[in-house]
Amino acid sequence: MLVRMSTAPQCDRPAPLHSVSVAGAVVRDDGRVLAIRRADNGRWELPGGILELDEAPEAGARREVLEETGIEVRVDRLTGVYKNMPRGIVALVFRCHPVGGVERPSDESVAVSWLTPEEVTATMAEAYAVRLLDALSGIAPPVRIHDGQRLMSGV
């Protein structure tokens, strides 16, 4: 009799489900950053969305920025990893540089604007403003968790 042993750990709870999103922290030479006002909730955020299964993270960031803003970008580097704890969304944020296109709203964005860092802090929820501020800081990519609005300490 052949008995198969599972090498997977056994537990009583279901496997966690996570969604991976990508976003572009697009920075112009004058230091202004690209932001959208989302059509679904009216909040200001950086452009981004769900990473497709067959898509590299950098390609997803380029696609999402173009779809939501009309701006073509070059991806420079990863600037942070952020997890929305209640929703199970892990976001990879990339600093980008604009290389073409013209700002325009889309089905997902009712407004597109180039904001100063001060305007980012004043208009965005902390959990989203920090993504742009981290991209401007030049520090090693942080890994942060939040509740959808506010940053949380490590759990």
Residue range 65-78, pLDDT digits in tens:
999 999 999 999 99
Can you read off the two tokens belonging to residue 65?
């920025």
Cα–Cα distance, 23 to 4 (Å, whole number): 43
* Domain ranges, ordered by start, for the chain: 19-141
- Beta strands (DSSP E) in the chain are 19-26, 33-38, 44-45, 48-50, 71-84, 89-101, 109-115, 143-146, 151-152
Q: Which residues of the chain have pLDDT under 70?
A: 1-11, 154-155
Cα–Cα distance, 146 to 113 (Å, whole number): 25
Architecture of the domain delimited by 19-141: Alpha-Beta Complex (3.90)
- Tell me the pTM: 0.84
pLDDT given for residue 3 in this prediction = 39
